[in-house]
Structure 1
C-alpha cells in the first residue's frame, strides 16, 4: 500500500508545483480559442478565407468585439462545466451551428440567423432539408472535426481545478457582459460607438457581413422587443383619428352592387405561387397559368409587394389579415410567434362583426407558425388544418391544391351564413430539387443548367395545379346563386436553387447576390401576381403594385364596405405609397426609393404609431374610433367544431367509443 501511495504523492506535488503553469495554459486556451472560433465561424458563413481575413484585418475593432463575445460565451460555459476543453467543445459547437444555420438561411432566403429563430420548432426543417448539399456537408464535417479536436485537448492540457466561487464570479461577469451587449446598456453603447459599430437593422444580411455573426446576433436580441416610436402618444393617435373622421376615410366608396346582400369572401394565398413565364430567356411547352393569365385580361388584377422571399408565409398572412406592416418590425421577425399573444383586430374579426362565419383553412398541420393559437387571437371562429381533412388527396409531398378547393366549396355549401375564408395552400411548397410528380406535363427550354431546368419544371407543375384549382372554384361559383368573391395570390417567390440559381441563370436578376440587386430587381423579387374574380358585377381594376398590408383595405373598398380605423388609414397611405418594404418604397407614380421620400414620412409615421398602438401600446385609438372592433376579444368556443371532430377521430383510432356524438361541422 505504501509503494502505491508514493507515486500519487509525487504526482500531487507535481500538480501543485505546476499550478501557475496550468493556469497560464488555461488562460492561453481561453483567449486563443475565441480568436480561432471567430475566424472559423466567419469563414463558414462567408465561404471565403480571403474575405474573412480581409474583414478581420480591416475591421479590427469589430473583430475584437466578436472575439470578446465568444470569450464571454466560453467563460460562461466553463463556469458551469468546470473543464476548459469541454467548455471549448460546447462553445465551438454552438458557434459553428449558428454559422451553419446563418449560411443556409442566407442561401435560401437572403436572411441570416436571428435570436428569435430559436423559437422555431418543426418549421426549422425547411432549412434542414438543405443539409445534404455538398457545401453544407463540408461545413458540418468541419464543425464536427473542430469540436472533436478541442475536446481531445482535455487529455493534453494540464488539469486545474478552479474554486467554485471563482468560477461563479467569472460566469456571472461573462453572463452580464453578454446581457449588456444584448440589451445595449449605456456602457455597452459607448463601447459600440467607439468601435464604430453601425447596426443596419433594415438590411440584416449587410448587418451580419459588416459586424460579424456573433456581434450582429447579440445586438439583435434587443430587437425581440419592439421599441416605442418617439412620436407615439395619445395626442398623436387622436390627431390621426381626427383626420380619419374629417376626411371621411372610413366611408364606403360608390354604390353597393349587391344592395346589402353579403357575398362570400374567399382569400386564397397559394403557397409560393408566382408566374414562371416572367423569366426571360426561358420558354414553356404550354401556358402553365391559363386561368390567371385570362383573369389578368378580364378581371381585377395586378401585383402584390410581399415582405418575404422564399419563406415566412405567416408574415404575409399577418400583413393581409391585420393591415399591419412588417416594415415596422425587426428584420426577420415572426409576429405570429413573437407578438400575437392577445386579441388583434383583423379582417376575420371585422367580417365576424358583420354576421359572417370567419374560417381559416390550411392544408398543413395546425401547429405550423402557431396558427392554432394565433387564429383565435385574430378573431376567427374556426380553423381547419390538415388534421381535419378527411382522406385528402396528396400530390407530391402535401395535400393537393385541388383538395383544398373542394374543401372550400364543401364548407361554403354547408354553412348558412356568408363566409369569410382565409385559405393557405401547401402543395407547391419547396424544395423543388427532386421531381415529386413523376413525369411533368410542361417542359422548359432555355439557357439553364440541367439542375435548374429540373427544378423549374417541378415548380411549374405545382403552379399549374394551383391555377387549375382556382379554375375549379370559378367553375363552381359561376353556377352558384350565392354571391362570391375570390381573391387569389401567392405569399412569396419560390426558392429555385441556392444563390437564386434559376433567377440568375435566366437573367431575371443580374446576380445571385441579393445585396447587389438594383431597386428594380428588389421589386421584381418581391412582386406576386394578384387576381380577383366574382360572380357578380364588379368594375375591373388594374393594380400596378400594392403592399400586402394594403390589400384588405382595397378589398373592403371594392365591396363598398365601411373600413375600420386602421384599414382606413391604410387606404390613405396606399394612395400615396402603394409599396412599402424595409428597403424599398414605391410611390404613387411607381417611382422606386431606398427610403421614404420626405413628402410621405409623416403619413408613414402615423401608420407606425397606429400599428404600435394596436400591437404593443395602450390602444389609444379605441378611445377615439371603432372601440368595439379594436378591443374585440376572441370568439367564444373558438374552433369547437373541429376540436370535437379531432377528439372523436382520436377516440375511434384508439378503439374506444366517445361518450357523445361529435358536433356537426356547422
Structure 2
C-alpha cells in the first residue's frame, strides 16, 4: 500500500527544456521585483503618473530597486520550490513597507527613515497617539495589481519551475546576489553601476523623492558614517584639547558664579508655538496672553527645534546630550544607541547632579512605551522617572479632571511638577525637573476637545472643514498657555528660587482635509515636500518659541526682557551660563559652538545669528566659527568612533 501511495504521489509538472526554464525563472523573478517596486512607489506617491515621471527622470533607480526585489524573489522561489509563493511574500512585505511610510507621513509629514526602525517594536503605541489610520485607495489598487502578478506566476509555474541540482544552484546564485547587495563592497559596486550616490547625506524627503522608498532606505544603510579628522591620532587630539583650553580659558576671568542655586524646571510643551504669527488667521483675543506677558520678564526668542511635526524623543536626546543626527551614521536612531555611548560624555543633567546638590527627575504625561526613555534617562543622570500612571499616584491636591482631550491636562501635569519640586526641596536638595507635556499632542480631530474652542478665530482662506482642525490646534495651544500661566503664578508665591525653561518641541503638522498642511494653505511653503523649500522657509517652519523665566529676576543676570534665538543644542549651554554650574569642557565648548551654529542637520544650517543656509558649507561663516565646528567634530569623533584619547578630559573643567 505504501509503495502504491508513493507511486501515485503527484510530482509538480514542468514544461520545456531546462535552459528555457532557467531563463523564464529569472525573467519572472525580475518582473515580480519590478511589479513590487512600482507598487511601493504607487502607494508612496499616490499616483501611477508620478511613478512614471520619476522613472523617466531616474530610470536606473527603479531598475536597481527591481533587481534587488527580484533577487530576493528568486532566492525565496528556489528555496520554496514555488515562485508564486515567493512573489506573494515579497509583494506583501513591499506593500507593508509602503503602508508604514504612508502612515508615517500621515502622522508627522515626513517619510519613513532607517532611524524609524528603532521604533519598530513600538509601532502599536505610535499608532495609538496618532489617531485612526486607514490605508489609502492606492494601497488597495496596488494590492490588486500585485495579486494579478502573483496569479500569473502561479499559472506559469510549469515553465518557470527548476528542480533538482538546478534548483539548489539557482538558490545559491540568487541568495549570493541578494546578500552581495547588502554588503559594503557589493553595495558600492551596485551604486556605481546604477549611478547611486552613497557618499552625500540627504534629508529624508529629498532622498525619497530622488531614489524612491526602498532604494533610499538601502542607500542610507551604506552611507559613510562620520569621517575621522585628517591626521587623527593621539598627538592630533592632544593638540585639539590644548586649543579648546586656549579658547575656553580666554573668557574664564570674566565669568561670575551666581550665589543662589535655583530649582530648574524644563518643560517640553508638545507642539507649542506662537500661532499668532500665522498669516490670514485673526483671533477674538490673544490665545497666548500668558506667554506674551512673560516674554517681558524672560529671555525669549525663536527656538530652532530641527523638526516639524514629530521627533520629540530625538529632540530630548540632542538637548540633554549635545549630539544631533549628523554625529552618527545615516539612519541611526539616537534614542537607541548602545548603552555605553550615553555615558561617554556627562549630560546636561549631570552638570547639576554631579555635585550632589541636585536631584533630577523626568515627568511625562504619557506612558513609558516610546523612545527608549526607561533606558536612556537613567544613563543621563535622572534618579526617578514618572509617567502618567506614576504621576496620578502622587496624591497632591487637585480639583477637576486629569485628562484634557485625549491626554493628561497640562495644568494637572504642572501641579505634579510643583509637588515633586516641593518634596525634593524638603529633602534638602535642589530640583532639576524635565517635563514632557501631552495635552496638545496630535491627532487634531475636530472632536478632540469636545468641539470646544475658547477663542474665536476666522480666516479668509481656509474652508469651514479646515477651520474645524485649526480650532483644535488653537484650543490645545491656548490650554498650554493657560497652564504655563498657572505654573508661573504658583512660583511667584514660592520662596524657592526657580528657573523655568519653556519651549515647543516642534510645530504641529496640522494636515487639512485635502492632504495639504495649514502652512501650505497659508502660503508659508509651496508644498508639503521640503525639496522645493527655501532655507528661509525651512528655518521658519522648523522653529517654535521659547522663554527662560525666573521667579527672581536676579537669576537672569539682568537679561530679563531680552531676545535671543536658541535651539535644541543651544538652550542647555544657555541655561548653564545663567546658573554658573560647574561645567565640563564638553559643555563649555558646546556653549561656544552655539554662538556660531544654532542648527546643523542634513536639511539646513542656521548660524549663531539665526541666518539660515541649506548646508554648513553654504553658510557665510568666519574662520573662527568654522574652527569651533571642526573642534566639536573632532571631540565627537574621538568619543563615539575613535580611541577616546581626550574624552575623559572633556568631562573635566577647562585647564585641569
Instruction: Name the TM tier (shorter chain).
Output: 0.7 to 0.9
CA contact (8 A) 2:114 2:330 kept: no
Secondary structure at 1:288 match in 2? coil
Cα deviation, residue 206, structure 1: 1.6
Distance 2:171 2:190 in 1: 21
Counterpart of 2:396? none
Cα deviation, residue 140, structure 1: 3.0
Cα deviation, residue 173, structure 1: 4.1
Q: TM-score, normalised by structure 2?
A: 0.86
Counterpart of 2:222? 222
Counterpart of 2:503? 489
Distance 1:309 1:332 in 2: 18
Distance 2:62 2:46 in 1: 17
Cα deviation, residue 330, structure 1: 4.6
Match of 2:443 among 409, 431, 441: 431
Runs (5+) with no aligned partner, structure 1? 630-666
Runs (5+) with no aligned partner, structure 2? 394-400
CA contact (8 A) 1:275 1:289 kept: yes
Counterpart of 1:550? 570
Cα deviation, residue 602, structure 1: 3.5
Counterpart of 1:641? none
- Matched length: 621
1:441 and 2:466 correspond = no
Counterpart of 2:482? 468
Change (3 A) 1:22 1:180: closer
Distance 1:339 1:451 in 2: 46
Distance 2:253 2:363 in 1: 28
CA contact (8 A) 2:75 2:172 kept: yes
Cα deviation, residue 166, structure 1: 4.9
Secondary structure at 1:383 match in 2? strand
Counterpart of 1:270? 269
Counterpart of 2:378? 376
Distance 1:130 1:403 in 2: 22
Change (3 A) 1:374 1:546: same
1:472-621 to 2 correspondences below 5 Å = 472-497=486-511, 500-536=516-552, 537=554, 538=556, 539-540=558-559, 542-596=562-616, 597=619, 599=623, 600-621=625-646
1:176-575 to 2 correspondences below 5 Å = 176-185=176-185, 187-199=186-198, 200-222=200-222, 226-231=225-230, 232-248=232-248, 251=252, 254-257=255-258, 259=259, 261-330=260-329, 333-344=332-343, 345-355=346-356, 356-390=358-392, 393-415=402-424, 416=427, 417-438=429-450, 439-446=452-459, 447-497=461-511, 500-536=516-552, 537=554, 538=556, 539-540=558-559, 542-575=562-595
Distance 2:652 2:164 in 1: 58
Change (3 A) 1:623 1:533: closer
Distance 2:422 2:69 in 1: 60
Distance 2:333 2:387 in 1: 20
Cα deviation, residue 119, structure 1: 2.9
Secondary structure at 1:303 match in 2? strand
Secondary structure at 2:360 match in 1? strand
CA contact (8 A) 1:253 1:557 kept: no
Superimposed CA distance per residue, residues 258-298 of structure 1 (whole angstroms, 9 cap, x where no aligned partner): x1x32111110011111211110111222111111112233
Distance 1:201 1:164 in 2: 46
Distance 1:341 1:433 in 2: 41
Counterpart of 2:398? none
Counterpart of 2:397? none
Cα deviation, residue 168, structure 1: 5.1
Superimposed CA distance per residue, residues 81-139 of structure 1 (whole angstroms, 9 cap, x where no aligned partner): 331111101111111222232234345545322334233133465458779677x4313
**More displaced 10-residue stretch of structure 1: 509-518 or 90-99:** 509-518
CA contact (8 A) 1:440 1:457 kept: yes
Superimposed CA distance per residue, residues 353-385 of structure 1 (whole angstroms, 9 cap, x where no aligned partner): 122101111111112111001112112111111
